[in-house]
A and B are shown apart, each in its own frame.
Chain A
């Protein structure tokens, strides 16, 4: 008895450093965002640190952010979803195409199709036990192809009539804040609650952490996994719908490589790419960081926009290196 008590005390003492490491891993990206924002404010003053510019960053972040929330769950659950970029484009095309039949169709059609493709992803991965990488790579091609087919190989760009109610989703605002920003915020809050406070969230982390153990504990593996991909598909669909509403049109060429940006944001946010552990707040920080970098490079003006990708790539490596160090510190 006494021996055990000592063991517990020892654990608590050495746990402090581990907890600091855990905090850093979860909040590290946030710290970097704040630092980069402050430095940029000092360097560029009002050009960067204006309400308009900051809201612009938030709006630009909202589409990637919505997609990244779904991606966070998929990655924590031990999977990957490469189809989200294509789904976003398909959704935008379908939303614009559907708008000629009214706003209800413009919303229901893209969400329905994207949810369905997500379900197919989920069933193939959870039931047929195919590799997530392969399955979602296939739906990446499939959805992009479908988007091109619907839009006549991209030659037809469907316009959304400005009178349509669905336009408000992209261009309307409440209390001066654009609806996409609000919806993204909602997605992050809901994602945080589900991940940290709902049984489903724990189940996702358990499956990503040790699927065999989760199975033996009697968790409904297939259902949870399928739900992950359906959610990811739906969120990508929602993001596409918002993009279409924002630009009043549906283009089949948007969102190429978005899945990789989403993965980058998730990983920068401290989620383990191997699954089992992750943070929604971290993903938010990751998304913001990518967009702040983008914005700063635009402010500099003299740099080509491709330089943004160079910087993002460097950040990604640095963050993953730091993560590796921190996970070792935590004995994860």
Chain B
């Protein structure tokens, strides 16, 4: 490593493109990585970060462009090849084998053997202890990994990946499951790697970490590189605007806002979520929704948007906090109780959590309402048909007949079927998690109009969108989240994209400090008691 001049580029990504089934995931992306630098890779969901990492580590092969490593063009066919060449990857999820011992996890595939070719356990355990020592981890390496805290598991993963002589280390959101104290330790490890001349790619959604730890930053958006340069030369606000794709200069653009829905400010909220808290995920999040109001939830990916909605619906277990609907308290952790109280959720991933593609439009719509439409366990076809027909025309669902399979419909119509399913239940509050994702422009506008219409009819709506514009324009109030906490609320004319971005960026500075103080005081238990 000392032979390479400090300025030489160790990993050079040149105009790499990658398609998946016609979708351009990476569009001529370039990135240069120098020894001894920590290079932040940031971007919102679907920006292409994961695809780029997978190209670098040999999981995917680029369609166009080339990757040069140590000056030579390389093409890794498998992750193993990249690993052998000296590119280590630490994945977001701890990718180890929980049932095996710490030592076996550390040395899996390269265990020390004796003359008979059998594993020399004493030597293996010693090497494992020696490997972990620099990370300040002192545990019985014979224990199954599963019994240790997530933080230690993460450290074991890092120690394993870096144990070999690596020139490039890729860390994909390494701190997402760590305690603040463990984050501190990880930072020290990264610092040491930098001093040793290793090039580190650091993927993170936490701006604090980017600005504290990284030397340079590359921003991806929609598969394209939109920025690359030294961290010192960019402000938080600029970085956020680049990630979200909103030009600062482009403020004065005329906008068509929805008319503010007629809500009585003084009225009791139909839903009141207070102090929703879950360690590492949500920090005293409170939201109030009044009848006829659309509340937008804004924030970067990982800020707790989806988690807030899931917590309200009762599918995300909470450490503390309460949800009230119409003044009555909803039983915590029970979606059934939330549904009974009149809360409906349309989940983020409609394929995995929503529609059942092999069932008909009719069946998908009445699925959740079956108990209401049936008597003594038998369903009346006539009543079902009436409900389905009414909803299909109301939501303008385009299907050849109620018997068409949902899997054959377009994304927009699938989303409407989901919406119809929820409306069957006559909800008082509608939670919509990114309802227009992956839907074409026409259908998008239609769904946005529907949301507005539903609010006019007196429903309370909580709206999340991956597009800031949609949240800002579709909502009466915007609640801004960052790192699982509410950092501000914007209403009426204040609710602009710039306003939201300013809140996100500003919050990054303030909470960066309060967080540290809070957490060191609040968590006396060791990382070992992770659960």
User: Is B truly associated with A?
Assistant: yes
A contact residues around B527 at 8 Å (CB): 4, 7
A199 pairs with B111, CB closer than 8 A:
yes
**Cα-based distance from A10 to B78 in the complex (angstroms):** 40
Q: Are B119 and A213 in contact (CB under 8 A)?
A: no
Complex contact A197–B98 (CB within 8 A): no
**Stretch from A104-112, A143-151, A201-209 at the B interface:** A201-209
Stretch at the interface among B145-153, B218-226, B238-246: B145-153
Instruction: Identify the stretch in B22-30, B41-49, B135-143, B259-267 within 8 Å (CB) of chain A at 4 or more residues.
Output: B135-143
Question: Which of A1, A5, A15, A213 is close to B97, meaning CB atoms less than 8 Å apart?
Answer: A213
Verify if B442 is at the interface (C-beta below 8 Å from A).
Answer: no
Interface size on A, residues (CB 8 A): 37
**A276–B160 CA distance with the chains assembled, in angstroms:** 20
A197 to B149, CA, bound (A): 27
Chain A, residue nearest B81 (CB): A218
Partner of B118, one of A12, A197, A219: A197
Within 8 Å by CB of A5, from B111, B119, B138, B181, lies B138
A36 to B315, CA, bound (A): 47
Question: Contact: A217 with B109, CB < 8 Å?
Answer: yes
What B residues does A199 contact at CB under 8 A? 109, 111, 113, 119
Q: Does B91 contact A (CB under 8 A)?
A: yes
CB 8 Å contact bits of B166-194 with A (1 = contact, 0 = none): 00000000000000010000000000000
The 8 Å CB contact of B140, one of A7, A11, A203, A210, is: A11
Q: Is A8 an interface residue (CB 8 A)?
A: yes
State the Cβ distance, B115 to closest chain A Cβ, in Å: 13
| Residue in contact with A214 in the complex, picked from B83, B97, B144, CB distance below 8 Å | B97
Residues of A within 8 A of B80 (CB): 218
Please indicate the chain B residues that have their CB under 8 angstroms from the CB of A276 in the complex.
Answer: 97-100
Interchain CB contact (< 8 A) of A202 among B98, B119, B140, B148: B119
| Residues 65-97 (chain B) with a chain A CB within 8 angstroms | 78-80, 83-84, 89, 91, 95-97
Q: Are A11 and B147 in contact (CB under 8 A)?
A: yes
- Distance (whole angstroms) from the CB of A111 to the closest CB of chain B: 24
A198 to B97, Cβ gap below 8 A? no
CB of B100 within 8 A of CB of A7, answer: no
Chain B residues near A213 (CB-CB < 8 A): 95-97
By a CB distance below 8 angstroms, the chain A residues around B138 are: 4-5, 8
Main SS class of interface, B: loop
Nearest A residue to B84, CB-CB = A218
Which A-chain residue is minimally distant from B181 (CB atoms)? Answer: A3
Q: Does A12 contact B95, Cβ atoms closer than 8 Å?
A: no
CB-CB under 8 A for A4 and B100, given A198-B119, A199-B109, A332-B144: no
Instruction: Please encode chain A, from 1 to 39, with 1 for each CB lying within 8 Å of some chain B CB and 0 for all others.
Output: 101111110111011001000000000000000000000
Residues in A neighbouring B160, C-beta threshold 8 A: 217
B148–A210 touching, CB < 8 Å? no
Q: Using a CB-CB cutoff of 8 Å, which residues 100-130 of chain B contact chain A?
A: 100, 104, 108-109, 111, 113, 117-119, 121
Q: Which residues of chain A in 191-230 are interfacial with respect to chain B, using CB atoms and an 8 Å cutoff? A: 193, 197-199, 202-203, 205-206, 209-210, 212-219
B377 on the interface (CB 8 Å rule)?
no
The smallest beta-carbon distance between B111 and chain A, in angstroms, is 6
Contact at A210–B98, with CB atoms within 8 Å? yes
Q: Report A-chain residues with C-beta under 8 Å of the C-beta of B96.
A: 210, 213
| Residues in chain A near residue B529, CB distance under 8 A | 10
Check if A330 is an interface residue, CB within 8 A of chain B: yes
Q: Is B319 in the interface zone, CB < 8 Å from A?
A: no
Provide the residues of chain A in CB contact with B438, threshold 8 Å: none
Would you call A330 and B144 a contact (CB within 8 A)? Answer: yes
CA distance A277 to B104 in the complex (A): 13
Cβ contacts A to B, 27 pairs, < 8 Å: A3-B181, A4-B138, A6-B526, A8-B137, A11-B143, A11-B147, A11-B528, A15-B140, A15-B143, A18-B143, A18-B147, A197-B121, A199-B113, A212-B95, A213-B95, A214-B97, A216-B95, A217-B160, A218-B79, A218-B80, A218-B83, A218-B109, A219-B108, A276-B99, A331-B146, A332-B98, A332-B146
Please list the 3 inter-chain residue pairs (A to B) with the smallest Cβ-Cβ separation, ordered nearest first: A7-B526, A218-B80, A209-B97
Chain A contacts to B: CB under 8 angstroms: 1, 3-8, 10-12, 14-15, 18, 193, 197-199, 202-203, 205-206, 209-210, 212-219, 272, 276-277, 330-332
B residues neighboring A (CB under 8 Å): 78-80, 83-84, 89, 91, 95-100, 104, 108-109, 111, 113, 117-119, 121, 136-140, 143-144, 146-149, 152, 160, 181, 526-529, 531
Given A11-B148, A203-B108, 10 more contacts at CB 8 Å? A4-B138, A8-B139, A193-B118, A206-B104, A210-B98, A213-B97, A216-B91, A276-B98, A276-B99, A332-B146
